[in-house]
Structure formats: structure tokens, C-alpha cells
């Protein structure tokens, strides 16, 4: 007998994300168990409920989604989930706090359509936020030299340190916003992941750049890159810069998010963090 597909949502926020629940429903999940305010010490008990209820042959029909707006806490939840599994008693898990992994994956895939990321000089604005950090991590994983920009160079340096924990050989440079603008004439890839409703670059800054691709993830006016329209999807501006706006990237983000959730039910051993979601998205969208 086929078991119904159950997704257990572990959310670190006081309210479980409605966005993530709707995407789960649209991805073929039949039963959604929504847990909110989850802390790492509560995870073992919750995960035991997933591991010990169905036989090993049916565990692929149960999966876990870890989300919420606090990325560092969500990462601790994932660690606690992984520590609870043993032997074949495990279920597939996806980590996507604040949509950071799926959004960053969609942005870097868009960048890779127009630039050779292995040799790219890249700049990430808002690189200390959940989405910016993941985008910088994925670019660095491809071999790009990535400048991580923040209003505080110290925070940018801390973000570089976190990425180096995963990619020790990553080529990363922390920059402040002035240095970020000054680097534009030598950058080929720009991802703007600043906070919603904050303009990160004026129109004339991009005119003086050597960019091949510019991606803005902020949909709320004013947008992050003044030259880019939210609907842009590879639109050429400023004599040859391929531009993507937040809605242009958002369509791919949604495709990746839904397909990744559906894939959790194909086996009981998937662990989808930024890199796995990025690789998954590349296969899906190319």
C-alpha cells in the first residue's frame, strides 16, 4: 500500500511560514505537520516521530523541511536533525530558511547563463544577509573571486569566515559599499541581495561597469539596482549587461523550491542545503 506523503515543517519562528506551507501543498505533499518556535533541543523527539513510525521501505514517504527567518537557528535545527538519524532510519531533509537557498540558487544559475563563474570576478551586495551569504557561497564554490559587500567591512569579513568554513580555498574579499562601487569596472557578475526596499546602486554606477550580468533580488520599491526592472529576465541594458529583477528570478526560485520538495519523496536519504539545491536547480533549469 502506498503511504501518503508527509512533510514535517520545523520552523524556528513564532508562526510557521505560510509561504513554505503553500509551496509544500503545491509540490504534492499530502499531509503537512507544521511545528513552530522549534528549538534544537526539541528536534530529537520530533524526528523520532518521523523515524520510528514507518518501516524502512516506507520512510521515503516522510520528509522534513527546516525553515524560518533566523538562518543560524535553522542551521542548528538541521544539525540536530542529522544527529538524530542513524543507519537506515532516516528521512530526506531540506533546509531553506527565508527562502535563502532556493533564491540564491536561482540567482547564481541566472548568473551562470551569461558568465563563466569559474573565472568570474563577482560582487554581492547585501552579502551579510541570508540570501547574499548563500549566493556568495555558491559563487565561491564555483571558483569565482567574490567580493562580499556590507555597510560594515567587519560584518563582511565575518561572512567571508563563515563561507571559508565550508570552502577553505574560497577566494573572498570583504568590501564596504564605497569599495564595492569602485570595483564595478573590474566585475563581471553582480548580485544585489540588499534588504527589501533599499536601493543599493544608482543607475550611473552600472553605466561605468564592465558587468556581463546584474541580478537584483529586491522586489519592493525602490528596487536594489536602479537600472533593473523587477520583471527583467536576461534583458540587455547599458549596452550588453544581462539584467534580472526579483520577479524574473522568482519564477525560477519557485520552480526549484517545488521540484526540490517533490524530490524529497524519491528516497529517504537526501539532505538538501544550498549546494545540493543549486546542483538540483542547474539540472532542472538547463
Ligand X SMILES: NC(=O)c1ccc[n+]([C@@H]2O[C@H](COP(=O)([O-])OP(=O)(O)OC[C@H]3O[C@@H](n4cnc5c(N)ncnc54)[C@H](OP(=O)(O)O)[C@@H]3O)[C@@H](O)[C@H]2O)c1
Q: What residue ranges bind ligand X (CB under 6 A)?
A: 98-99, 103, 126, 128-132, 150-152, 155, 193-196, 198, 217-219, 246, 249-250, 253
Element (H, E) at 182: helix 177-182
Q: Which is nearer to ligand X, 167 or 233 (by Cβ)?
A: 233
Minimum distance, C-beta of residue 55 to ligand X, in the bound complex (Å)? 38
Minimum distance, C-beta of residue 127 to ligand X, in the bound complex (Å)? 7
Minimum distance, C-beta of residue 76 to ligand X, in the bound complex (Å)? 18
Minimum distance, C-beta of residue 262 to ligand X, in the bound complex (Å)? 19
Q: Which is nearer to ligand X, 188 or 194 (by Cβ)?
A: 194
Q: Which is nearer to ligand X, 90 or 147 (by Cβ)?
A: 147
Cell of 121: 570576478
Q: Which is nearer to ligand X, 50 or 214 (by Cβ)?
A: 214
For residue 242, how far is the Cα from the chain centroid? Answer: 21
Gap between the Cα atoms of 60 and 265, Å rounded: 5
Minimum distance, C-beta of residue 48 to ligand X, in the bound complex (Å)? 32
Cβ proximity of 36 and 14 under 8 Å? yes
Q: Which is nearer to ligand X, 27 or 128 (by Cβ)?
A: 128
Phi and psi angles of residue 96, each rounded to the nearest 5 degrees, phi first: -150, 60
Residue nearest to ligand X (CB): 129
Gap between the Cα atoms of 216 and 152, Å rounded: 20
Q: Which is nearer to ligand X, 77 or 215 (by Cβ)?
A: 215
Element (H, E) at 243: strand 241-244
Minimum distance, C-beta of residue 23 to ligand X, in the bound complex (Å)? 11
Cell of 215: 541580478
What letter does residue 264 receive in the DSSP assignment? Answer: G
Q: Which is nearer to ligand X, 129 or 188 (by Cβ)?
A: 129
Gap between the Cα atoms of 179 and 272, Å rounded: 34
Q: How far is CA 126 from CA 135, 175, 231, 244, 281, in A?
A: 10, 11, 21, 17, 23
Minimum distance, C-beta of residue 15 to ligand X, in the bound complex (Å)? 17
Gap between the Cα atoms of 40 and 226, Å rounded: 41
Cβ burial of 248 (10 Å; 0-12, 13-18, 19+) is buried
Amino acid at each position: 500500500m502506498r503511504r501518503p506523503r508527509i512533510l514535517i515543517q520545523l520552523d524556528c519562528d513564532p508562526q510557521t511560514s505560510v509561504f513554505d506551507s503553500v509551496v509544500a501543498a503545491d509540490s504534492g505533499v499530502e499531509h503537512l505537520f507544521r511545528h513552530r518556535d522549534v528549538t534544537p533541543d526539541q528536534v530529537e523527539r520530533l524526528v523520532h516521530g518521523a523515524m520510528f513510525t514507518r518501516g524502512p521501505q516506507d520512510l521515503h514517504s516522510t520528509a522534513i523541511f527546516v525553515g524560518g527567518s533566523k538562518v543560524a537557528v535553522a542551521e542548528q535545527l538541521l544539525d540536530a536533525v542529522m544527529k538524530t538519524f542513524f543507519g537506515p532510519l532516516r528521512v530526506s531533509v531540506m533546509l531553506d530558511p527565508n527562502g535563502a537557498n532556493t533564491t540564491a540558487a536561482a540567482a547564481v544559475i541566472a548568473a551562470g547563463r551569461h558568465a563563466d563563474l569559474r573565472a568570474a570576478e563577482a560582487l554581492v551586495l547585501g552579502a551579510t544577509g541570508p540570501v547574499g551569504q548563500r549566493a556568495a557561497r555558491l559563487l565561491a564554490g564555483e571558483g569565482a573571486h567574490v567580493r562580499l559587500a556590507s555597510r560594515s567591512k567587519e560584518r563582511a569579513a565575518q561572512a567571508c569566515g563563515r563561507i571559508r568554513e565550508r570552502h577553505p580555498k574560497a577566494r573572498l574579499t570583504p568590501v564596504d559599499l564605497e569599495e564595492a562601487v569602485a570595483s564595478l569596472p573590474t566585475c563581471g557578475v553582480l548580485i544585489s541581495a540588499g534588504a527589501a526596499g533599499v536601493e543599493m546602486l544608482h543607475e550611473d554606477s552600472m553605466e561605468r561597469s564592465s558587468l556581463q550580468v546584474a541580478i537584483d533580488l529586491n522586489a519592493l520599491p525602490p528596487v536594489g539596482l536602479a537600472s533593473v526592472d523587477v520583471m527583467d529576465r536576461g534583458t540587455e541594458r547599458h549596452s550588453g549587461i544581462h539584467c534580472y529583477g526579483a520577479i524574473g528570478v522568482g519564477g525560477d526560485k519557485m520552480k526549484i523550491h517545488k521540484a526540490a520538495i517533490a524530490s524529497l519523496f524519491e528516497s529517504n536519504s537526501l539532505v538538501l542545503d544550498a549546494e545540493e539545491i543549486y546542483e538540483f536547480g542547474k539540472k532542472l533549469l538547463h
